[in-house]
Structure 1
Amino acid sequence: MSDNHKYDESRRAGRPSEKLAARDNLISAARTMFTVHSYEKVSTRMLAEKAGVNVAMIRYYFGNKAGLFEAMVRETIEPIKKQVNQFVAASNQKELKDIMRAYYANMSAAPMFPRLIFQTMHMEPSAPQRQLLEKVLFDILRPVQDALFDSGLWEPVIRPDMDPKLCKVSFLSLMIFPFIAPQSMCDLHGIERNNEFLDALLEHNLKVLTHGFIRPELSDGEDHDSES
């Protein structure tokens, strides 16, 4: 039997797509389970049941629970990392705003992930979940963070009368706070944190950036069109 024939049989059986679906389901299950429960209380069996797959799929794709946790964090952060790298390369207003767009798009699909990061980083330094998260964040985000907080990248983008350090804090606050704000605070102000609200908030925050501390001459055509 030829190799091509074997490949065709495999495709007809649907095995590759089933395995890929199993991997995606495990990543999704990990985002949910590690947000609801502490790392120690989440077993591989619980993760497999949540994903609707055999527990052997965790060993097959990730090696163990720690490998699944690490992969989940890496894959959730990767699109934002990619956009930050583009800002580092171009250092202009459009790329800066696209970081926020990428963050909102990805966190809207995984709204509990920022809270997972927030809660985990407030654990004891010896907690396994925090140690795992710090390992991944240091590996993925430290170079990105160093680049993003380089004043040399921000100075051409922001108004000369603004403090680059304070602008960075404002920028991060506009991105992150809506996803980690206590639910009781949202309830108090009648805010329903759904996709419609987040989409509207994103557009609002982009206008805050444009009319707040970004150099007017660097505003993209979209913003000028909205003012004309």
Structure 2
Amino acid sequence: MNIAHQQSSDPVRTRLLKAALECFLADEYHKVTTRLIAEKADANISMIRYYFGSKEGLYEEMIRDTLGPLLDVLDGPMLSSAEGLSSFFRLYYDTMTTRPEFPKLILKVLALNQGPGRRFIQQLLERGRTRGARKVADLKTQGQIAPSIDPDILRMAFVSLAMTPMLLKDIFEEQMGHAMDDAFIEDLASFNGQLFTAGLAPAAHR
């Protein structure tokens, strides 16, 4: 068993990451103490230093732990065709539905520079940008998407459709008069995936 797998399966480390997510999403960074996180995780405070080095290290690992599976998709088979975008939307919505404050946290860090991690999050997003551009190039080579597609425009369009429902979830639910439940999210992911598939297709397939 390699070290990365050992860490990901370590119950104390897992509890600390879960507790950190709950604490940082519920309150401002400077108000969250390592003691509070350790107590919520039912762990010794020294384990935070052991696994993450510091409070900021834990904060960064919490973000990496949440965004990692989404970025890993860019290296996997899900987006080997334009149709996989529906699955990618669904993965994003599912990830953020279980962490509804997370998009707001990212927005606060990047737009308002509140809390640490701005450079770290930008590095993660740049990694996603690079991987995404490579995936777009592959799909162009295979003739699955139009050669004129700009990968940066595609990325911005995806982020807009992915983040907005999560950022404005309460407002949308109030306007619609019902919850964005699992069935609604499934339909939304499918519809957005179809929009992208149609928009990306070479002219002969439209």
TM over 0.5: yes
Kindly state the Cα deviation for residue 170 of structure 1 after the two structures are TM-superposed.
Answer: 2.6
After superposition, where does 1:80-119 map in structure 2 within 5 Å? 80-86=70-76, 92-119=81-108
Counterpart for residue 157 of structure 2: 170
Counterpart for residue 181 of structure 1: 168
Kept after mapping to 2: 8 A contact 1:83/1:102: no
Which shows bigger deviation, 102-111 or 66-75?
A: 102-111
Q: Which has the higher contact order (CA 8 A, sep 6+)?
A: 2
Which one has the largest radius of gyration? 1
* Structure 2 unpaired stretches of 5+: 1-5
After superposition, where does 1:1-228 map in structure 2 within 5 Å? 20-86=10-76, 92-124=81-113, 127=114, 129=115, 132-149=116-133, 152=137, 155=140, 156-159=143-146, 166-181=153-168, 183-210=170-197, 212-215=198-201
Q: Which amino acid aligns with 1:171?
A: F
Q: Secondary structure of 1:213's partner?
A: helix
Q: Which amino acid aligns with 2:170?
A: Q
Counterpart for residue 4 of structure 1: none
Q: Map Cα deviations across residues 43-90 of structure 1 (whole Å, 9 max, x no partner).
A: 011112222323222122112211110110111111111111237x97
Q: Which amino acid aligns with 1:93?
A: A
Q: Secondary structure of 2:76's partner?
A: helix
Kept after mapping to 2: 8 A contact 1:174/1:205: yes
Q: Which amino acid aligns with 2:126?
A: R
Q: Map Cα deviations across residues 84-122 of structure 1 (whole Å, 9 max, x no partner).
A: 1237x9753145444334323322332321121012222
Q: Which amino acid aligns with 2:70?
A: I
Alpha-carbon distance change, 142 to 164 in structure 1, aligned in 2, over 3 angstroms? closer
Sequence identity percentage: 29
